Amino acid sequence: MSSNSIKLLTGNSHPELAKRVADRLGVELLDMSVFKYSNQETSVIMRESVRDEDVFILQTTCPGEDLNDHLMELLIIAKACKTASARRITAIMPNFPYARQDKKDKSRAPISAKLVANMIQRSGCDHVITMDLHASQIQGFFDVPVDNLYAEPLTLRYIRENFDYKNAVIVSPDAGGAKRATALADRLDLNFALIHKERSRPNEVSRMTLVGDVKDKIAILVDDMADTCGTLCKAADVLMESGAKEVVAIVTHGILSGDACEKVSNSKLSRLVVTDTVPHEDKKKRCPKIDTIDVAPTIAEACRRTHNGESVSFLFSHVMV
C-alpha cells in the first residue's frame, strides 16, 4: 500500500521560501539537483521516488537574467515527476511569470501569460497554486484548477499591527488596482483615494492626479506588484504634496527590478512592505525601508489543505499563525 504523502520540490528560484514551507509542513525537501550543463541546458536529477506521491513544486519568479531559466526548471521538474509516475503534480508559483503580458494590447502582441499557462499544463501539472495574480482572469487561461491565494489577510494584519490605522487612507496608485484597494479599505473601514496616471511607455510613468483627500493622514498605497517602483515613488510625491502626513506602500510582489531600491531610498515613501513571494534579501540590504511579510504559512497551509482535500477558501479571509 503506497503512502501518498506530500513531496515538496523546488528549483533555484527561492530556496529559502521552499525551506520554510517545508518546515511548516514538517517534511523535507526532496533530494534532488537542478543545475545547468556547460551548454546551458537545464537538467534535473531526482534521487527519491515520487511514484504515486502528491508532488508540490515550488518555483516563483525571481526577477533578473534567470527568469526564463526558472520557468524552464519548473517545466522540466514537472515533466520529470510526470514521467516518474507522480500521482498529482501541483505547481506553486507565488509570483506568476509573464502575468502582465496577459492581453493583446496592440497588434501582434504575444499573450505570453496564456503561453505560460499552456506550457505548465503541457509539462504535466494537474493543479496550480499562485498568489495575487495580476489579473485574476489568468485563472481562465488554465484548464486545470488554479488556486489564487490572497495576500490581503496578511496585509490587513500588517496594517493593524504596525500603523495607527484609524488615521489612515488606503490609496490605489492606479485605476486598475482600485478594486483591491477598496476591498481593503472596506475591511478596515477606512477612506479611500485613487491616483490616476497616464502611461506612455512600459516601465515609465507620466502625469498623475489624486482623487480623494489624504490631508494629515497616513496614506497607505496598495498594489499587487512593485516592479521599477516608478509609479509608487511618483505617487508618494503626489500624496505628500497633497498634505499626507506619511506615505507607506504595501505590495504583494516586490519585484524591485532595475534601480528600484535606490528609487525607493530616495523617495518620500517612509516604508515599503512586500511579501516574500519574490526573494529580496539582497535588496533589503540596499534599501532599509523595505519590510517583509512572510507568506510561507499561507502557502504551506494551502499545500496541506490541497493534499487533504480540504477547502482552501478559508485562507482567502484568514491568516495562518
What part of residues 39-78 is at the interface with other proteins (CB under 8 A)?
39-49, 61, 63-69, 71-72, 75-77
Nearest to 18 by CA among 59, 53, 63, 47: 59
Q: Does 123 bind other proteins (CB under 8 A)?
A: yes
Residues 2-21 that bind other proteins (CB under 8 A): 3, 5, 10, 12, 15, 19
Distance, CA of 276 to chain centre: 8
d(C-alpha 104, C-alpha 121), whole Å: 21
Q: Does 79 bind other proteins (CB under 8 A)?
A: yes
Binding mask 187-216 for other proteins (x = CB under 8 A): ---------------xx-------------
Q: Does 101 bind other proteins (CB under 8 A)?
A: yes
State in angstroms the smallest separation of the CB of 77 from other proteins.
Answer: 7
Could you tell me if 154 and 275 are in contact, meaning their C-beta atoms sit under 8 angstroms apart?
yes
Q: Does 280 bind other proteins (CB under 8 A)?
A: no
Q: Does 142 bind other proteins (CB under 8 A)?
A: no
Cell numbers at 184, concatenated: 481593503
State in angstroms the smallest separation of the CB of 228 from other proteins.
Answer: 5
Span of 116-124, 125-133, 177-185, 288-296 interacting with other proteins by CB under 8 A: 116-124
Nearest to 25 by CA among 11, 10, 48, 8: 8
DSSP string across 151-205: SHHHHHHHHHHHS-GGGEEEEESSGGGHHHHHHHHHHHT-EEEEEEE--SSTT--
Q: Which of 59, 155, 228, 277 binds other proteins (CB under 8 A)?
A: 228
Nearest to 274 by CA among 63, 103, 78: 63
Q: Does 286 bind other proteins (CB under 8 A)?
A: no
Give residues with Cβ within 8 angstroms of 123, minimum separation 6.
74, 75, 76, 78, 79, 82
Q: How many residues belong to the site for other proteins (CB under 8 A)?
A: 74
Q: Does 261 bind other proteins (CB under 8 A)?
A: no
